[in-house]
């Protein structure tokens, strides 16, 4: 078994096919396919299912994949550690972001620019996705760091967390909205009062949506989500058009909307910087993590 064969196998899985994998690896597709088949013959089991439109790992391939990634990470770690002792930081850091992160006042783009200026040989890739999917990718080793919305009080096993935003959740709607009329003069509204009202919320898999669904489930109902959008600002824009009541972090509410906090101490919109705690964090990722923790406001 050769290290390059493991790298080829992992790349084919990540790209979903041999053509894109060959382009990424700068190889001829027949040679790539031959090397993967040689690895399968050596192991005595097919690792890839080639029967569909996209290539997917078999059950054995799924079981082998974490070990292949760990082996590649270990070799990369050896190289990067040597570079680190030589005063030259190299490598690649994969970072996941919830939508809107780059527009936040803690200036994620500026922090990344400072890191790049200090370590120009490190490649940083950015992807946007829901919090749930990014946490799963983090634990699989596909991401090194991720900025996610927090749905649970404790982080998942194997994940470290540094909370950088912690705001109360509020209901924001145009003046005269039935929910606001029902609670005129109140300082807050209980989650149970949302029953039957059309709401505007972030997609499933986001931290705020997870908090909202949990609070509503405890009150005995499912929230009626009429519209979904990726950022709190977009939710407020929809609410300003009278399309429903938006459930957003308090500081994200727009002018012109009436706001009532949700009356529950757990009704918080929190965002956290997360990283893997199981397995080694390569030097480039460790350096970027330290800079982000120092540069992003908040704590916890």
Q: Pick the residue with more confidence: 299 or 212?
A: 212
In a domain, 293, yes or no: no
Asked if residue 117 belongs to a domain, the reply is no
CATH number of the domain within which 20 lies: 1.10.10.10
216-229 pLDDT, tens per residue? 999 999 999 999 99
The verdict on residue 288 lying in a domain is: no
pLDDT band at 193 (very low <50, low <70, confident <90, very high): very high
- The 3-state secondary structure of 161-203, one letter per residue: EEEEEEEEEEEEECCCCHHHHHCCCCCCECHHHHCCCEEEECC
Last residue of a domain, one of 34, 59, 87: 87
Does residue 299 surpass a pLDDT of 70? no
Residue 175: name the closest of 268, 248, 254 by CA: 254
Residue 114 confidence (pLDDT): 93
Q: What is the pLDDT of residue 78?
A: 81
Structural domain containing residue 74: 1-87
Q: Is residue 264 part of a domain?
A: yes
**Predicted local distance difference test score (pLDDT) of residue 90:** 74
| Arithmetic mean of pLDDT, 175-181 | 93
What CATH number is associated with residue 220? 3.40.190.10
Say what the pLDDT of residue 253 is: 62
pLDDT band at 27 (very low <50, low <70, confident <90, very high): confident
pLDDT reported for residue 102: 83
Flag whether 276 is in a domain. no
pLDDT tens for residues 109-154? 999 999 999 889 889 999 999 999 999 999 888 899 999 999 888 8
Residue bearing the bigger pLDDT, 83 or 102: 102
81: pLDDT strictly greater than 90: no
Q: Is residue 161 part of a domain?
A: no
In a domain, 41, yes or no: yes
237-252 pLDDT, tens digit per residue, is: 999 999 999 999 986 5
pLDDT tens string 46-62: 999 988 888 999 999 99
Where among 87, 117, 136 does a domain terminate?
A: 87
Q: How many domains does the chain have?
A: 2
**Does 119 fall in a domain?**
no
Range 159-171 average pLDDT = 93
Q: What pLDDT score was predicted for residue 196?
A: 94
pTM of the model: 0.68
Percent of the chain with pLDDT over 70: 95
Name the average pLDDT for the chain: 89
For residue 279, pLDDT over 80 is answered with no
pLDDT (0 to 100) of residue 96? 95
Domain end call among 68, 87, 106? 87
The answer on pLDDT for 86 being more than 60 is: no
pLDDT band at 85 (very low <50, low <70, confident <90, very high): low
pLDDT for 298: 54
**pLDDT > 80? residue 297:** no
Band of pLDDT at residue 44, cut at 50, 70 and 90: very high
């Amino acid at each position: 078994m050769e290290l390059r064969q493991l790298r080829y196998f992992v790349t084919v899985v990540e790209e979903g096919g041999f053509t894109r994998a060959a382009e990424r690896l700068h190889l001829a597709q027949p040679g790539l396919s031959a090397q993967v088949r040689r690895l399968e013959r050596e192991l005595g089991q097919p690792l890839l299912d080639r029967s569909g439109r996209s290539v997917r790992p078999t059950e054995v391939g799924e079981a082998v994949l974490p070990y292949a990634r760990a082996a590649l990470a270990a070799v990369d770690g050896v190289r990067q550690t040597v570079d680190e002792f030589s005063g030259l930081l190299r490598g690649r850091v994969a970072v996941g972001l919830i939508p809107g992160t780059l527009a936040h006042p803690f200036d994620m783009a500026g922090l990344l620019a400072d890191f790049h200026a200090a370590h120009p040989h490190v490649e940083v890739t950015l992807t946007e996705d829901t919090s749930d999917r990014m946490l799963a990718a983090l634990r699989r080793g596909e991401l090194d760091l991720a900025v996610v919305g927090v749905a649970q009080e404790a982080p998942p096993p194997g994940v470290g967390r540094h909370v950088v935003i912690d705001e109360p959740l509020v209901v924001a709607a145009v003046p005269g909205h039935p929910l606001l009329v029902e609670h005129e003069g109140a300082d807050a509204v209980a989650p149970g009062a949302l029953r039957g009202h059309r709401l505007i919320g972030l997609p499933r898999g986001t931290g705020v949506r997870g908090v909202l669904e949990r609070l509503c489930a405890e009150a005995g109902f499912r929230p009626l989500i009429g519209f979904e959008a990726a950022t709190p600002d977009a939710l407020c824009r929809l609410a300003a058009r009278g399309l429903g009541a938006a459930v957003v972090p308090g500081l994200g509410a727009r002018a012109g909307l009436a706001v009532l906090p949700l009356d529950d101490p757990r009704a918080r919109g929190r965002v956290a910087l997360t990283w893997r705690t199981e397995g080694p964090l390569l030097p480039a990722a460790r350096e970027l993590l330290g800079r982000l923790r120092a540069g992003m406001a908040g704590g916890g």
